[in-house]
Amino acid sequence: MNRVHSLLSGREMSIVGALVAVVAVTAFVNPSFVSPQGLHDMFLNASIIALLAIGQTLLVITRNIDLSVGSVMGLTAYLSGQMFIADSGTPVIVVMLAGMALGAACGAFNGALVAIAKVPALVVTLGTLYVFRGIDYGWASATGVHQINADQMSPEFLSFGSGSVLGIPHLTLIALVALGIAGYALHNWRSGRELYAIGSNPQAARLAGIPAGRRVFTSFVISGALVGLAGVLHASYFGTINASVGTGKELAVVAAVVVGGVAIFGGSGTVLGAALGALLLTTITGALPILGVPAFWQRAVDGAALLLAISLDRAVMLRVAERLRKERSLRRV
């Protein structure tokens, strides 16, 4: 257990080191990158991806994945705009709760197919990626409103997305609260620790009496609720919504989670690492234009980081397995 803890701590510290290096190099080229406004924008841009990564971490720990996050995010963002078109005086908290409820419903649909019908999560969420996006486009076509602009939403909603407390953006504060709750639950609640057991060895977890199906289903629902919240925050921050919001976010989210040290094979990782991974990848994306890297290379960063992280995890797993095999051999002797 201590060895695993040390491994995770090492991964998180390496992410912090890489983040510092990226910021230092970029600041050398353009000092405004580390100005108060530059740092404010850096954390603000990472907040939505971090929120998505926190929910995704709960699933990856259990050897599952959700590729529909971008589509669900777009669906809940569009819902936010439609609520203001229906009633411009809708309270912000009501819009947030509605977005989370819709996201949780989408997560429950995915979770039921995975946990109850026993369909692989990769297959289920790859399918619902297109289903939910189709619903989003269909909704826009049915209403005739293909784009919702800032003037159609309430000023309070828009000011919330761009506002801050003591210089910390509202979106970042929400991501930090979600990070704290999820981190505490994973390491202190029995149900949280059981997610690691399910990911480490699903069959052994079931034999030990852990309700694996229920835990996986709940993880999908919670992840969906966080995705729904992220969609609402996206609408509040950017102020312009169409049916394509969130397209391609699934790659960025999975990359952030894996880069953050959450094993793609399940059983290990932390939400803190996933959030740091989101911050690192978002910072790199923001730094590339300043460093003169062509725009078409920016999307390749997430894919390259994902491949590198999976390769490193695989190498570490093989080394640990070899070390354990040698220790067992020595004990027998």
**Cα–Cα distance, 326 to 313 (Å, whole number):** 20
Q: Which two tokens stand for residue 190?
A: 């029995």
Ramachandran category for residue 261: left, alpha or beta (phi over 0 → left; psi -120 to 50 → alpha) = left
* Residue 1: partners with Cβ closer than 8 Å, 6 or more residues away: none
> β-strand 168-169 against 164-165: which pairing, if any?
antiparallel
Q: pLDDT (tens digit, 9 = 90+) per residue, 165-175?
A: 888 899 999 99
Chain-centre distance for alpha carbon 165: 23
How many Å apart are CA 204 and CA 215, to the nearest integer?
Answer: 15
For residue 165, give the H/E element and its range: strand 164-165
Render pLDDT for 260-317 as a digit per residue (tens, 0 to 9). Answer: 889 888 888 899 999 999 999 899 888 888 888 876 676 677 677 778 777 776 676 6
Q: How far is CA 42 from the centre of its chain?
A: 17
* Structure-token pair, residue 25: 């190099």
Residue 68 Cα distances to 91, 143, 330, angstroms: 28, 23, 47
CA gap 302, 224 in Å, rounded: 22
pLDDT in tens, 32-87: 888 888 888 888 889 999 999 999 999 999 999 999 999 999 999 999 999 999 99
Task: Name the H helices within 87-211.
Answer: 92-111, 121-143, 155-162, 170-188, 190-200, 202-207
Residue 185, judged by CB atoms within 10 A of its CB (0-12, 13-18, 19+), counts as middle
| Number of separate domains in the chain | 1
Distance in angstroms between the alpha carbons of the first and the last residue of the chain: 24
CATH number at residue 266: 1.10.3470
**333 has a pLDDT exceeding 90:** no
- How many helices (H) and strands (E) are present in the chain, helices listed first? 13, 4
Looking at residue 176, its amino acid is L
Q: State pLDDT tens for residues 250-275.
A: 988 998 999 888 988 888 889 999 99
User: Residue 284's CB: how many other CB atoms inside 10 A?
Assistant: 20
- Residue 247's CB is within 10 A of a number of other CB atoms, namely 14
Identify which of 218, 133, 174 has the alpha carbon closest to the alpha carbon of residue 51: 174
Q: What is the model's pLDDT at position 13?
A: 84
Q: What are residue 156's phi and psi, to 5 degrees?
A: -65, -40
**Confidence check: pLDDT of 98 > 70:** yes
pLDDT at 248: 86
pTM (whole model) above 0.85: yes
* Whole-angstrom distance, CA of residue 243 vs CA of residue 258: 28
Q: Is the pLDDT of residue 158 over 80?
A: yes
Decide: 272 and 12 in contact? Cβ < 8 Å: yes
**Quick count: other Cβ atoms within 10 Å of Cβ 19?**
18
Of all residues in the chain, the percent with pLDDT exceeding 90 is 59
- At 101-124, the pLDDT tens digits run 999 999 999 999 999 999 999 999
Give the domain range for residue 197. 2-332
Residue 3 has pLDDT above 50, yes or no: no
Q: What is the DSSP letter of 116?
A: I
Kind of pairing, strands 168-169 and 241-242?
unpaired
Residue 323 has pLDDT above 80, yes or no: no
Q: Half-sphere exposure (CA, 13 Å, Cβ side) for 47?
A: 29
Of 264, 301, 263, 269, residue with least CA distance to 282: 301
Q: Write down the pLDDT at residue 321.
A: 63
For the segment 153-182, the average pLDDT, to the nearest whole number, is 92
